[in-house]
Amino acid sequence: MSEVLFLTFGLCLLLSMPVVFSLLVASITAILWGGSVPLTIVAHKLVSGIDSYPLLAIPLFIVFGEVVNKGGIGRRIVDFSQALVGSFRGGLAHANVTASMFFGGISGSATADSAAIGSVLIPAMKRGGYPATFSVAVTATSSIIGIIIPPSVDLILYGWLTDTPMDELFAGGLLPGVLIGGALMVVSYVLSARHGYGIRQPFSLPELVRRTGDTFPALLMPLIIIGGILGGVFTVTEAAAASVVYGLLVTWLYYRELKFADLPTLFSDAAKTIGQVMFLLGTAKVFAYVMTIEQVPLHLSQALFEALPSTGFFALNVILICLVVGLFLTPAIATIILTPILFPAAMEFGVDPVHFGLMLVSGLALGHVTPPVGLTLLLTSSIGGVSVGQMLRPLLPFFLMLVAIVLVIAYVPAITLFIPDLMRG
Protein backbone atom coordinates (compact mmCIF):
# COMPACT_ATOMS: atom_id res chain seq x y z
CA MET A 1 0.00 0.00 0.00
CA SER A 2 2.81 2.45 0.83
CA GLU A 3 4.54 1.59 -2.47
CA VAL A 4 1.33 2.45 -4.34
CA LEU A 5 1.05 5.70 -2.37
CA PHE A 6 4.50 7.01 -3.31
CA LEU A 7 4.49 5.67 -6.87
CA THR A 8 1.13 7.30 -7.60
CA PHE A 9 2.25 10.56 -6.01
CA GLY A 10 5.45 10.61 -8.08
CA LEU A 11 3.56 9.76 -11.28
CA CYS A 12 1.06 12.56 -10.69
CA LEU A 13 3.89 15.05 -10.19
CA LEU A 14 5.57 13.86 -13.41
CA LEU A 15 2.27 14.47 -15.21
CA SER A 16 2.36 18.08 -13.89
CA MET A 17 -0.71 17.58 -11.73
CA PRO A 18 -0.92 20.21 -8.95
CA VAL A 19 0.56 18.95 -5.69
CA VAL A 20 -2.71 19.24 -3.78
CA PHE A 21 -4.47 16.89 -6.22
CA SER A 22 -1.41 14.62 -6.43
CA LEU A 23 -1.61 14.10 -2.66
CA LEU A 24 -5.35 13.39 -2.84
CA VAL A 25 -5.20 11.03 -5.83
CA ALA A 26 -2.26 9.12 -4.34
CA SER A 27 -4.07 8.71 -1.01
CA ILE A 28 -7.33 7.53 -2.59
CA THR A 29 -5.49 5.11 -4.89
CA ALA A 30 -3.54 3.60 -1.98
CA ILE A 31 -6.70 3.22 0.13
CA LEU A 32 -8.56 1.52 -2.73
CA TRP A 33 -5.57 -0.74 -3.40
CA GLY A 34 -5.25 -1.77 0.25
CA GLY A 35 -8.96 -2.38 0.74
CA SER A 36 -8.73 -2.40 4.54
CA VAL A 37 -9.72 1.23 5.13
CA PRO A 38 -13.11 2.67 4.13
CA LEU A 39 -12.92 5.40 1.50
CA THR A 40 -15.08 7.64 3.69
CA ILE A 41 -11.97 8.26 5.80
CA VAL A 42 -10.80 10.67 3.07
CA ALA A 43 -13.69 13.08 3.66
CA HIS A 44 -13.31 12.71 7.42
CA LYS A 45 -9.57 13.50 7.40
CA LEU A 46 -10.01 16.38 4.94
CA VAL A 47 -12.23 18.13 7.49
CA SER A 48 -10.85 16.92 10.83
CA GLY A 49 -7.29 17.41 9.63
CA ILE A 50 -7.68 21.19 9.62
CA ASP A 51 -9.98 21.37 12.66
CA SER A 52 -7.25 22.85 14.83
CA TYR A 53 -7.20 26.02 16.93
CA PRO A 54 -3.44 26.68 16.43
CA LEU A 55 -3.93 26.26 12.67
CA LEU A 56 -6.35 29.21 12.71
CA ALA A 57 -3.26 31.42 12.88
CA ILE A 58 -2.47 30.69 9.22
CA PRO A 59 -5.58 32.29 7.64
CA LEU A 60 -5.28 35.22 10.05
CA PHE A 61 -1.64 35.81 9.08
CA ILE A 62 -2.65 35.56 5.41
CA VAL A 63 -5.21 38.34 5.96
CA PHE A 64 -2.56 40.33 7.82
CA GLY A 65 -0.17 39.88 4.89
CA GLU A 66 -2.76 41.34 2.52
CA VAL A 67 -3.24 44.31 4.87
CA VAL A 68 0.51 44.92 4.97
CA ASN A 69 0.92 44.63 1.20
CA LYS A 70 -1.95 46.95 0.36
CA GLY A 71 -1.32 49.42 3.18
CA GLY A 72 2.09 50.74 2.12
CA ILE A 73 3.99 49.08 4.97
CA GLY A 74 6.62 47.53 2.70
CA ARG A 75 7.58 50.87 1.13
CA ARG A 76 7.99 52.53 4.52
CA ILE A 77 10.15 49.71 5.85
CA VAL A 78 12.38 50.03 2.77
CA ASP A 79 12.74 53.80 3.30
CA PHE A 80 13.62 53.29 6.97
CA SER A 81 16.15 50.55 6.18
CA GLN A 82 17.79 52.71 3.52
CA ALA A 83 18.16 55.60 5.97
CA LEU A 84 19.58 53.21 8.59
CA VAL A 85 22.24 51.31 6.59
CA GLY A 86 22.33 53.01 3.18
CA SER A 87 25.57 54.88 3.91
CA PHE A 88 27.67 51.69 4.02
CA ARG A 89 29.39 50.18 1.00
CA GLY A 90 26.67 48.30 -0.86
CA GLY A 91 24.13 50.36 1.08
CA LEU A 92 21.04 49.49 -0.95
CA ALA A 93 21.91 45.80 -0.72
CA HIS A 94 22.18 46.13 3.07
CA ALA A 95 18.88 48.02 3.09
CA ASN A 96 17.36 45.16 1.11
CA VAL A 97 18.46 42.56 3.67
CA THR A 98 17.50 44.76 6.63
CA ALA A 99 14.07 45.40 5.14
CA SER A 100 13.57 41.65 4.69
CA MET A 101 14.42 41.07 8.35
CA PHE A 102 11.85 43.65 9.49
CA PHE A 103 9.26 42.55 6.94
CA GLY A 104 9.83 38.90 7.85
CA GLY A 105 8.81 39.79 11.40
CA ILE A 106 5.51 41.01 10.00
CA SER A 107 4.47 38.80 7.08
CA GLY A 108 5.89 35.33 7.86
CA SER A 109 6.10 34.65 4.12
CA ALA A 110 9.08 34.65 1.76
CA THR A 111 6.86 35.24 -1.27
CA ALA A 112 5.18 38.28 0.29
CA ASP A 113 8.60 39.58 1.31
CA SER A 114 10.09 39.25 -2.17
CA ALA A 115 7.05 40.90 -3.77
CA ALA A 116 6.80 43.82 -1.35
CA ILE A 117 10.53 44.52 -0.97
CA GLY A 118 11.53 43.55 -4.51
CA SER A 119 8.99 45.78 -6.24
CA VAL A 120 10.50 48.79 -4.46
CA LEU A 121 14.20 47.99 -4.07
CA ILE A 122 15.11 46.10 -7.26
CA PRO A 123 14.28 49.12 -9.49
CA ALA A 124 15.96 51.43 -6.94
CA MET A 125 19.11 49.30 -6.91
CA LYS A 126 19.25 49.25 -10.71
CA ARG A 127 18.98 53.05 -10.76
CA GLY A 128 21.67 53.23 -8.07
CA GLY A 129 24.32 51.47 -10.12
CA TYR A 130 23.78 47.83 -9.11
CA PRO A 131 23.50 45.15 -11.82
CA ALA A 132 20.01 43.72 -12.21
CA THR A 133 21.28 40.20 -11.51
CA PHE A 134 22.96 41.28 -8.26
CA SER A 135 19.81 43.13 -7.17
CA VAL A 136 17.67 40.07 -7.84
CA ALA A 137 20.12 37.74 -6.06
CA VAL A 138 20.11 39.89 -2.90
CA THR A 139 16.31 40.17 -2.88
CA ALA A 140 15.62 36.49 -3.58
CA THR A 141 18.01 35.14 -0.95
CA SER A 142 17.15 37.66 1.78
CA SER A 143 13.42 37.01 1.38
CA ILE A 144 13.77 33.49 2.84
CA ILE A 145 14.35 35.14 6.22
CA GLY A 146 10.57 35.61 6.18
CA ILE A 147 9.94 31.91 6.86
CA ILE A 148 12.53 31.65 9.63
CA ILE A 149 12.01 34.81 11.69
CA PRO A 150 8.59 34.63 13.40
CA PRO A 151 5.75 34.71 12.56
CA SER A 152 6.63 31.94 10.11
CA VAL A 153 3.82 30.03 8.40
CA ASP A 154 6.19 27.10 7.82
CA LEU A 155 7.04 26.90 11.53
CA ILE A 156 3.31 26.97 12.32
CA LEU A 157 2.85 23.99 9.98
CA TYR A 158 5.71 22.12 11.62
CA GLY A 159 4.38 22.86 15.10
CA TRP A 160 0.90 21.71 14.08
CA LEU A 161 2.22 18.44 12.66
CA THR A 162 4.48 17.64 15.64
CA ASP A 163 2.68 19.29 18.59
CA THR A 164 5.80 21.36 19.28
CA PRO A 165 5.00 24.55 21.26
CA MET A 166 4.60 27.43 18.82
CA ASP A 167 6.11 30.00 21.17
CA GLU A 168 9.31 27.95 21.48
CA LEU A 169 9.52 27.51 17.70
CA PHE A 170 9.11 31.25 17.16
CA ALA A 171 11.73 31.98 19.81
CA GLY A 172 14.06 29.48 18.16
CA GLY A 173 13.78 31.26 14.81
CA LEU A 174 15.01 34.65 16.03
CA LEU A 175 18.78 34.08 16.17
CA PRO A 176 18.96 31.93 12.99
CA GLY A 177 17.05 34.64 11.10
CA VAL A 178 19.40 37.36 12.32
CA LEU A 179 22.41 35.14 11.52
CA ILE A 180 21.22 34.63 7.94
CA GLY A 181 20.63 38.36 7.53
CA GLY A 182 24.10 39.20 8.83
CA ALA A 183 25.75 36.60 6.58
CA LEU A 184 24.00 37.93 3.48
CA MET A 185 25.11 41.46 4.36
CA VAL A 186 28.72 40.24 4.52
CA VAL A 187 28.42 38.73 1.02
CA SER A 188 26.78 41.93 -0.25
CA TYR A 189 29.57 44.07 1.22
CA VAL A 190 32.37 41.94 -0.24
CA LEU A 191 30.85 41.81 -3.73
CA SER A 192 29.98 45.52 -3.72
CA ALA A 193 33.48 46.49 -2.61
CA ARG A 194 35.15 44.15 -5.11
CA HIS A 195 33.12 45.29 -8.12
CA GLY A 196 32.41 48.88 -7.11
CA TYR A 197 28.65 48.42 -7.04
CA GLY A 198 26.39 51.27 -6.01
CA ILE A 199 26.75 54.91 -5.09
CA ARG A 200 27.42 55.53 -1.40
CA GLN A 201 24.99 57.96 0.17
CA PRO A 202 26.01 60.15 3.13
CA PHE A 203 24.45 59.28 6.47
CA SER A 204 21.78 61.76 7.55
CA LEU A 205 20.57 61.69 11.15
CA PRO A 206 17.59 64.02 10.47
CA GLU A 207 16.51 61.71 7.61
CA LEU A 208 16.81 58.65 9.87
CA VAL A 209 14.77 60.37 12.59
CA ARG A 210 12.10 61.35 10.04
CA ARG A 211 11.92 57.86 8.56
CA THR A 212 11.82 56.30 12.02
CA GLY A 213 8.88 58.48 12.99
CA ASP A 214 7.02 57.62 9.80
CA THR A 215 7.74 53.89 10.11
CA PHE A 216 7.37 53.56 13.89
CA PRO A 217 3.77 52.22 13.90
CA ALA A 218 4.83 49.59 11.33
CA LEU A 219 7.93 48.68 13.33
CA LEU A 220 5.70 48.04 16.34
CA MET A 221 3.98 45.21 14.44
CA PRO A 222 6.72 42.57 14.90
CA LEU A 223 7.18 43.71 18.51
CA ILE A 224 3.49 43.16 19.18
CA ILE A 225 3.48 39.76 17.48
CA ILE A 226 6.78 38.35 18.74
CA GLY A 227 6.85 40.14 22.09
CA GLY A 228 3.25 39.21 22.83
CA ILE A 229 3.87 35.53 22.10
CA LEU A 230 7.20 35.24 23.91
CA GLY A 231 5.92 37.28 26.83
CA GLY A 232 2.94 34.98 27.31
CA VAL A 233 0.40 37.71 26.53
CA PHE A 234 -0.92 35.98 23.38
CA THR A 235 -1.09 32.53 21.94
CA VAL A 236 0.07 32.43 18.31
CA THR A 237 -3.53 32.45 17.11
CA GLU A 238 -4.44 35.39 19.34
CA ALA A 239 -1.34 37.25 18.16
CA ALA A 240 -2.41 36.70 14.55
CA ALA A 241 -5.87 38.12 15.30
CA ALA A 242 -4.37 41.09 17.16
CA SER A 243 -2.00 41.78 14.26
CA VAL A 244 -4.92 41.92 11.79
CA VAL A 245 -6.77 44.45 13.95
CA TYR A 246 -3.65 46.54 14.56
CA GLY A 247 -2.65 46.41 10.89
CA LEU A 248 -6.09 47.58 9.76
CA LEU A 249 -6.07 50.45 12.25
CA VAL A 250 -2.56 51.61 11.30
CA THR A 251 -3.01 51.43 7.52
CA TRP A 252 -6.56 52.85 7.61
CA LEU A 253 -6.45 55.53 10.30
CA TYR A 254 -2.74 56.47 10.57
CA TYR A 255 -1.26 56.02 7.08
CA ARG A 256 -4.64 56.46 5.36
CA GLU A 257 -3.55 54.30 2.42
CA LEU A 258 -6.09 51.55 2.96
CA LYS A 259 -9.62 52.69 2.19
CA PHE A 260 -12.89 51.12 3.26
CA ALA A 261 -13.62 50.44 -0.41
CA ASP A 262 -10.42 48.35 -0.60
CA LEU A 263 -11.60 45.86 2.04
CA PRO A 264 -13.80 43.65 -0.21
CA THR A 265 -10.89 43.12 -2.63
CA LEU A 266 -8.48 42.59 0.27
CA PHE A 267 -10.62 39.93 1.92
CA SER A 268 -11.43 38.32 -1.44
CA ASP A 269 -7.73 37.95 -2.30
CA ALA A 270 -7.03 36.60 1.18
CA ALA A 271 -9.92 34.12 0.92
CA LYS A 272 -8.56 32.69 -2.34
CA THR A 273 -5.17 32.08 -0.76
CA ILE A 274 -6.71 30.69 2.44
CA GLY A 275 -8.86 28.26 0.45
CA GLN A 276 -5.84 26.94 -1.44
CA VAL A 277 -3.71 26.60 1.70
CA MET A 278 -6.36 24.91 3.84
CA PHE A 279 -7.33 22.45 1.10
CA LEU A 280 -3.64 21.60 0.76
CA LEU A 281 -3.37 21.01 4.51
CA GLY A 282 -6.43 18.76 4.45
CA THR A 283 -5.10 16.61 1.61
CA ALA A 284 -1.70 16.45 3.31
CA LYS A 285 -3.40 15.14 6.44
CA VAL A 286 -5.03 12.35 4.40
CA PHE A 287 -1.63 11.52 2.88
CA ALA A 288 -0.01 11.50 6.32
CA TYR A 289 -2.78 9.23 7.65
CA VAL A 290 -2.11 6.64 4.95
CA MET A 291 1.62 6.77 5.75
CA THR A 292 0.84 6.32 9.45
CA ILE A 293 -1.38 3.25 9.08
CA GLU A 294 1.35 1.73 6.90
CA GLN A 295 3.90 2.66 9.61
CA VAL A 296 6.14 4.39 7.05
CA PRO A 297 7.55 6.94 9.55
CA LEU A 298 8.28 4.20 12.11
CA HIS A 299 10.05 1.91 9.63
CA LEU A 300 12.04 4.79 8.13
CA SER A 301 13.13 6.14 11.52
CA GLN A 302 14.31 2.67 12.57
CA ALA A 303 16.18 2.24 9.27
CA LEU A 304 17.90 5.62 9.59
CA PHE A 305 18.80 4.99 13.23
CA GLU A 306 20.42 1.68 12.31
CA ALA A 307 22.14 2.96 9.14
CA LEU A 308 23.54 6.29 10.38
CA PRO A 309 26.29 6.18 13.01
CA SER A 310 25.58 9.50 14.73
CA THR A 311 23.30 12.51 15.07
CA GLY A 312 25.76 14.49 12.94
CA PHE A 313 25.31 12.14 9.99
CA PHE A 314 21.54 12.31 10.46
CA ALA A 315 21.63 16.14 10.36
CA LEU A 316 23.72 16.07 7.18
CA ASN A 317 21.27 13.67 5.54
CA VAL A 318 18.34 15.91 6.49
CA ILE A 319 20.01 18.91 4.82
CA LEU A 320 20.80 16.88 1.70
CA ILE A 321 17.19 15.67 1.54
CA CYS A 322 16.00 19.27 1.88
CA LEU A 323 18.27 20.41 -0.97
CA VAL A 324 16.99 17.66 -3.30
CA VAL A 325 13.31 17.97 -2.38
CA GLY A 326 13.53 21.77 -2.67
CA LEU A 327 14.24 21.38 -6.38
CA PHE A 328 10.76 19.95 -6.94
CA LEU A 329 8.47 21.13 -4.12
CA THR A 330 7.86 24.48 -2.46
CA PRO A 331 9.05 24.70 1.17
CA ALA A 332 5.55 24.70 2.69
CA ILE A 333 4.48 21.59 0.77
CA ALA A 334 7.79 19.87 1.50
CA THR A 335 7.37 20.66 5.21
CA ILE A 336 3.95 19.00 5.22
CA ILE A 337 5.25 15.87 3.49
CA LEU A 338 8.67 15.44 5.14
CA THR A 339 7.81 16.30 8.74
CA PRO A 340 5.75 13.15 9.49
CA ILE A 341 8.48 11.05 7.85
CA LEU A 342 11.62 12.56 9.41
CA PHE A 343 10.35 13.73 12.81
CA PRO A 344 10.22 10.23 14.39
CA ALA A 345 13.79 9.62 13.23
CA ALA A 346 14.91 12.92 14.77
CA MET A 347 13.38 11.85 18.08
CA GLU A 348 15.21 8.51 17.84
CA PHE A 349 18.49 10.43 17.54
CA GLY A 350 17.58 12.63 20.51
CA VAL A 351 17.31 15.88 18.53
CA ASP A 352 15.33 18.61 20.29
CA PRO A 353 11.98 19.14 18.46
CA VAL A 354 12.55 22.91 18.24
CA HIS A 355 16.07 22.46 16.87
CA PHE A 356 14.89 19.91 14.32
CA GLY A 357 12.06 22.21 13.24
CA LEU A 358 14.46 25.06 12.51
CA MET A 359 16.90 22.66 10.84
CA LEU A 360 14.17 21.34 8.55
CA VAL A 361 12.49 24.67 7.76
CA SER A 362 15.76 26.51 7.11
CA GLY A 363 16.98 23.66 4.90
CA LEU A 364 13.76 23.64 2.89
CA ALA A 365 13.83 27.44 2.66
CA LEU A 366 16.72 27.03 0.20
CA GLY A 367 14.12 25.70 -2.23
CA HIS A 368 12.82 29.25 -2.63
CA VAL A 369 15.94 30.18 -4.60
CA THR A 370 16.59 26.96 -6.56
CA PRO A 371 15.05 26.42 -10.00
CA PRO A 372 12.74 25.20 -11.37
CA VAL A 373 10.14 25.86 -8.62
CA GLY A 374 11.95 28.51 -6.56
CA LEU A 375 9.07 30.94 -6.11
CA THR A 376 11.05 33.91 -4.84
CA LEU A 377 13.70 33.43 -7.54
CA LEU A 378 11.03 33.35 -10.25
CA LEU A 379 9.21 36.36 -8.81
CA THR A 380 12.26 38.55 -8.28
CA SER A 381 13.71 37.60 -11.68
CA SER A 382 10.47 38.78 -13.25
CA ILE A 383 10.62 42.07 -11.32
CA GLY A 384 14.27 42.58 -12.30
CA GLY A 385 13.68 41.76 -15.96
CA VAL A 386 16.23 38.92 -16.08
CA SER A 387 15.89 35.22 -16.87
CA VAL A 388 16.44 32.47 -14.34
CA GLY A 389 19.32 31.22 -16.47
CA GLN A 390 21.07 34.58 -16.13
CA MET A 391 20.73 34.32 -12.34
CA LEU A 392 22.59 31.06 -11.75
CA ARG A 393 26.10 32.50 -11.49
CA PRO A 394 25.27 35.75 -9.61
CA LEU A 395 23.17 33.75 -7.15
CA LEU A 396 25.94 31.27 -6.33
CA PRO A 397 27.88 33.25 -3.63
CA PHE A 398 24.66 34.02 -1.75
CA PHE A 399 23.39 30.44 -2.08
CA LEU A 400 26.66 28.94 -0.82
CA MET A 401 26.55 31.28 2.18
CA LEU A 402 22.97 30.19 2.90
CA VAL A 403 23.99 26.52 2.75
CA ALA A 404 26.86 27.22 5.15
CA ILE A 405 24.54 28.98 7.62
CA VAL A 406 21.97 26.16 7.41
CA LEU A 407 24.75 23.71 8.29
CA VAL A 408 25.76 25.92 11.23
CA ILE A 409 22.14 25.92 12.41
CA ALA A 410 22.06 22.12 12.11
CA TYR A 411 25.35 21.50 13.93
CA VAL A 412 25.22 24.23 16.59
CA PRO A 413 21.93 23.65 18.47
CA ALA A 414 22.68 26.51 20.89
CA ILE A 415 21.90 29.05 18.15
CA THR A 416 18.35 27.75 17.92
CA LEU A 417 17.80 26.71 21.53
CA PHE A 418 19.34 29.63 23.45
CA ILE A 419 16.14 31.70 23.70
CA PRO A 420 13.75 28.69 24.06
CA ASP A 421 15.93 27.36 26.90
CA LEU A 422 15.63 30.72 28.67
CA MET A 423 11.85 30.47 28.32
CA ARG A 424 11.86 26.94 29.69
CA GLY A 425 13.83 28.11 32.72
Q: Please write the tens of the pLDDT for every residue from 221-272.
A: 888 888 888 788 888 888 889 888 988 998 888 888 888 888 899 899 889 8
Q: Which pLDDT value is given to residue 297? A: 66
Q: Which pLDDT value is given to residue 319? A: 92
Query: How many CB atoms are closer than 10 A to CB 11?
Result: 14
User: Coil, helix or strand for 188?
Assistant: helix
User: Coil, helix or strand for 415?
Assistant: helix
* pTM across the whole model: 0.86
Burial of 219 (0-12, 13-18, 19+ CB in 10 A): middle
Q: Which pLDDT value is given to residue 73? A: 81
pLDDT-based confidence at 113, cuts 50/70/90?
Answer: confident
pLDDT-based confidence at 337, cuts 50/70/90?
Answer: confident
Give the pLDDT mean for 80-101.
85
* d(C-alpha 414, C-alpha 408), whole Å: 10
Residue 417 has pLDDT above 90, yes or no: yes
Give the pLDDT mean for 378-396.
88
Give the pLDDT mean for 112-123.
83
Q: Which of 80, 194, 87, 77 is nearest to 131 (CA)?
A: 194
Q: Which pLDDT value is given to residue 351? A: 93
Residue 388's Cα: distance from chain center in Å?
Answer: 21
Q: Which pLDDT value is given to residue 411? A: 94
pLDDT-based confidence at 403, cuts 50/70/90?
Answer: very high
Residue 314 has pLDDT above 80, yes or no: yes
Give the pLDDT mean for 148-152.
86
Q: Please write the tens of the pLDDT for every residue from 8-31.
A: 988 988 888 888 888 899 999 988
pLDDT-based confidence at 135, cuts 50/70/90?
Answer: very high
Mean pLDDT of the chain: 86
pLDDT-based confidence at 406, cuts 50/70/90?
Answer: very high
Q: Which pLDDT value is given to residue 134? A: 93
Amino acid at 254: Y
* d(C-alpha 290, C-alpha 34), whole Å: 10
Residue 110's Cα: distance from chain center in Å?
Answer: 5
Give the pLDDT mean for 84-100.
85
Give the pLDDT mean for 43-69.
84
